[in-house]
Structure 1
C-alpha cells in the first residue's frame, strides 16, 4: 500500500476517533479529496483490500462507501470498481460557484401588500413607546407568557382544535422545539422512524444526540402504513417523526384515512408521534392535524417561519398533557433558554392586531401565484402542491441528483439535491426547488426558465463516469 499513502491517514483517523468507524472513514475519504491526495477519476482499492489494511470488517467499509456515494464523493459500477466522482473535489454541491438566485432556502415570499418593512418599523416604534425597554431586552419566561401561549393556542386552533393553555408552549423556532421533544422522549441509541426521504433537520437532531433513523417508503399520500408497521416490527423505534401536510421535500399530503391508519400503527407499536406542521395554515382546505385525531399521543410543532417570517424565531408547540408540557419546557430551557423579547413582543402584537392574518393571506396568495408559474414553466410530472413553497423536481434519466445540482450551480442556479433528504437506500432522481426566496414573481420566472434549460440539457462527457 506504499503507493496509497492516504490509506495510512485513514487508519490513523480511525485509530484516534471514538465515533462510528464507517462515518470516520467517509470523513477521512472526504479530507483526502480536499487535500488533493485523491483526485477526480482516481480508482479506489477493492473494499476487501481496504478492510484488511484498516483492520476492520468488509461490512463497515461497504457501509462507508454507501454513505460516501450518497454524499456525492464516489461512483461505483459493478465490474469496474469505485472511482472519485466528478465534482467531489468541489466541497460538495453547495460550493460549485456563485448563484444568481438561491432556490435552496424554503422561505415564505416577503409580501409587498401589506409592506412588511414599513409594518415592522411602525410596530417596533409603537412597542418601544408602549413597553419598558428593559423588559423587551431582558430574558423571557421559558415557554412563553400566559398571554403569548393563549395567542399561540388561538393561532393553531384551526388545525389542532381547541387546546388548553397549559398544553401549549412558545419555542424559539421549530428546530429547538423538535430537539427538546426528541431529547425528552429518547435516549442515545434509540431509533426514530421517519420517511425515507425526510426533512434534513431531523437528521441533524439524530446525529447530534446519538439516535438512529429508520426510513419508511412513501406513496403519493406520504408514509405508507404497511411499511411503517414493517419497519416498527424490525427496529422497535421509540418515536415517529413526520410532516403529514405538504411534506418537505416530496409535497405529499396525507388524506384523513391515511392519517388514521398511521396513528393506528403508532398505537399498535406504542409510539409517540412528533408532528412537524410548517405548512397547514397555507391551505384553505386543510386536513385535521394528527394532534387533533390523537390528543394523547402526538407532539405538535407549528413554526411561524413558513407562514409569517423565519425572522420571528417562533414556533408553537401543542403537547399531550401538562406533565409533558413541564418536561419539554425544561428541555427547551436547557437547549435554547427562551425566546427573544423584542421578537416575542412583535409577534404578539401582530397576533393581537390581526396583522399576522394579513401577512399570512398575502403569503398564501403569492405562493399560489408562484406555484402556477412553476407549473406553467416546468410542466407536469413534478411533485407540487398549489399551496406549498417548493417543487420536488423530477429529473430525466441522464441526470443524477448531485450532478444535476452541481451543473445548475455553474449556470447560476442554487438547488438542493435529493441526497440531502435521503435517510436510506438510493437517492431518487429529484431535486428541490424553493419558490419563496426569489424577490418577486418575475425573478422566479427567469430562474425557473433556467432550471428548465438545465433539465433539458443532456450532460456532457465531463459529467460521465471516469474510467
Structure 2
C-alpha cells in the first residue's frame, strides 16, 4: 500500500520539524500528495497504525487528520476510513497570482472580434426589454421548457441528428448532469468503467457517491476494445463512461470502427453508456456520436461551457426512452431542482438569433490560430492533433509530471499534472495545458515561449519541490 510506504518518510520529516507535531504531520501528508506519492482517492492506514508508526499518540494523529480535512487534503468518513481527497493536489499546481499565465482552466477562448462582443452585450439587454423580469429571475421547470428543449435539439442536431425534444433535459452544467445520471443508475460500491486517464469531475463523483472507477488501457486513438472486454468479463461494471471525441485530457478521438466495437461490447455486457461530449461541436466535421450510432442505449451529455462560455452554465442530457428520462429527471430534481430563468433565456435567444453559432465559428477559428502558435513555438514537441481547447503534452525523459509542474510553477506557469486524471497505476510523464486560458494570442505566445525553456531545462540530480 503506497500510503503505508509513506509513513517512514513522514517520521523522518516530523523529526526535523521544530513546530507543533500535528502540523508537521499535516505538512508531511501535503508533501506526499504534491510529489505524487499519495494518489487522489487513496485510502490511508487506520489512525492507530499511523500513530504507532510515527511514534506519537492517537490524539495527535486525530488532530492532524482533522486539520488536513480543513485544508482540503483528506476526506474522512466513519465506517469507510480516511482518503486523499480528489483534487487535493490542486494547491500544489494552481497559481494564485504572479504567473505569466494559468494554463490549468480548460475553457474556450473568448471571441476576439469586437463586433461579436458588442452583439453579446446587446442581446443581454434585449432579453430584459422583451421578457418579463419576474420570469427571468425565477426557477424554470425541471429539465427546461418545451421551447428551450426544442432549441437545444436544434443546437445539437449537427452531432445528434433528429431527436425528440421530450428526450432532452436541460440542467445547470455537465457536473450536475453526470451526478444526476450516476446517482440514478448506480449504487455505492458498484463499478464504472472509464478511460485510464479520465475527467477529474468523474473522479470526484465516484469519490462522493462511493463508486469504483475501473480504468481501461488506451492507445493513441483512445480506449482499447480488447482491454475493455477483458475488464468487463472480470468485473461486470454497470456503466461505461467515456468521451470519444477530443477526450480530456489526451484529446484522443475514436474512429468509427472503434466506436462500433465498443458499443458492441456494451450491448454484450448490458452496460449503460454515458457519452460525455463537451467538444464535438468545435470540429467542423465531427465523427458520429455514440448516441447517433445507438440511440437506444447511450445517455448523451453536452455542455455550453466548453464550446461557448463557462458562464452560461448550461448542459444537455439526451436520453434513450421515456422510463430513463423519468429516472434521470428525478435525479436532476433531487440535486438541483431547476435552472435559473435568465440563463435559459440567454442560451435560447442566442441559438434562436444565430449568435451562438456565430460565436462558435469564431471560437473554432481562434483555437486554430492558437494551435498554429503552439506549433511555431514548440516545434516537434507540439502534439499534432485536431485543434481543441486542451493539449496533452508528453514530457522529456528527465522529468516526472509532479516535478515538472512544480518547476514550471516557479517559472510562472501553472499546468495540470497527470496524477489529476490517472484512474489507476503510476501517473505518466505528461501534463495537460489549456490553450483557451490566454486572453489573446500575444499572451499565449509569451507563455508558450516560457514553457519551451522549461521543457528544455535539465534539473539537477535529486530535484524536489521541497523548500
Normalising by the smaller structure, the TM-score range is 0.7 to 0.9
Matched, 1:31 2:26: yes
Is residue 205 of structure 2 the alignment partner of residue 205 of structure 1? yes
Greater shift in the superposed pair: 92-101 or 120-129: 92-101
1:51-450 correspondence to structure 2 within 5 Å: 54=49, 91-94=91-94, 98-113=98-113, 115-450=115-450
Matched position secondary structure for 1:138: coil
- Contact 2:94–2:104 at 8 Å: present in 1 too? no
For residues 4 and 273 of structure 1, do their structure 2 counterparts lie closer, same or farther at Cα, with a shift above 3 Å needed?
closer
SS of equivalent to 1:403: helix
SS for the counterpart of 1:372 is helix
SS at 2:345's partner residue?
helix
Q: Distance in 1 between matches of 2:389 and 2:142?
A: 30
Residue pair 1:195, 1:217 contacting (<8 A) in 2 also: yes
Q: Is the contact made by 2:95 and 2:414 (CA closer than 8 Å) also made in structure 1? A: no
Relative to 1, partners in 2 of residues 1:234 and 1:354: Cα closer, same or farther, differing over 3 Å? same
Matched residue pairs, number?
A: 408
Cα separation, partners in 2 of 1:168 and 1:455, compared to 1, 3 Å = same
CA distance in 1 between partners of 2:216 and 2:191 (Å): 13
CA gap of 1:114–1:241, structure 2 versus 1, over 3 A, is farther
When normalised by structure 2's length, the TM-score is 0.81
**Deviations 1:403-459 (CA, angstroms, capped at 9, x unpaired):** 101111111111101010000011111001100010001110111111111000001
**3-state secondary structure, aligned to 2:450:** helix
Alpha-carbon distance in 1 for matches of 2:169, 2:97: 42
In 2: Cα distance, 1:167 partner to 1:225 partner: 29
2:81 counterpart residue number: none
Partner Cα separation in structure 2 for residue 366 and residue 328 of structure 1: 36
CA distance in 1, matches of 2:365, 2:337: 35
Give the superposition deviation at 1:317.
Answer: 1.3
- Counterpart Cα distance in 1 of 2:34 and 2:437: 35
Q: CA deviation at 1:387?
A: 2.4
Q: Structure 1: how far apart are the matches of 2:30 and 2:302?
A: 43
**Structure 1 residue 121: Cα displacement:** 2.4
The 3-state SS of whatever aligns with 2:194 is strand
1 CA distance for matches of 2:385 and 2:95?
Answer: 29
In the TM superposition, residue 147 of structure 1 has moved relative to its aligned partner by 0.4
The answer to whether the 8 Å contact 1:114/1:359 transfers is no
Q: Distance in 2 between matches of 1:438 and 1:55?
A: 44
**Distance in 1 between the 2:444 and 2:50 partners?**
52
How far the C-alpha of 1:35 sits from its partner, in A, is 8.8
2:93 and 2:437 map into 1 onto residues whose CA distance is: 19
- Structure 2 CA distance for aligned equivalents of residues 398 and 330 of structure 1: 51
CA–CA distance in structure 2, aligned partners of residues 316 and 29 of structure 1: 46
Query: What per-residue deviation string (whole Å, max 9, x for no partner) do you get for residues 138-163 of structure 1?
Result: 11111000000001111111111111
Distance (whole Å) between structure 2 residues aligned to residue 89 and residue 171 of structure 1 = 29
Query: Where does the alignment leave 5 or more consecutive residues of structure 2 unmatched?
Result: 1-6, 15-21, 36-44, 54-72, 74-87
Runs of 5+ unmatched residues, structure 1: 11-26, 41-49, 59-72, 74-87
Distance 1:32 1:307, change over 3 A: closer
Describe the SS at the equivalent of 2:422.
coil
Q: Is the 8 A contact 1:96 1:406 kept in 2?
A: no
Structure 1 Cα separation of the partners of residues 158 and 89 of structure 2: 49
Between the aligned partners of 2:33 and 2:371, the Cα distance in structure 1 is 43
8 Å Cα contact 2:101-2:412 kept in structure 1: yes
Q: Does the 8 A contact of 2:150 with 2:165 survive in 1?
A: yes
Alpha carbons 1:249, 1:392 under 8 Å: kept:
yes
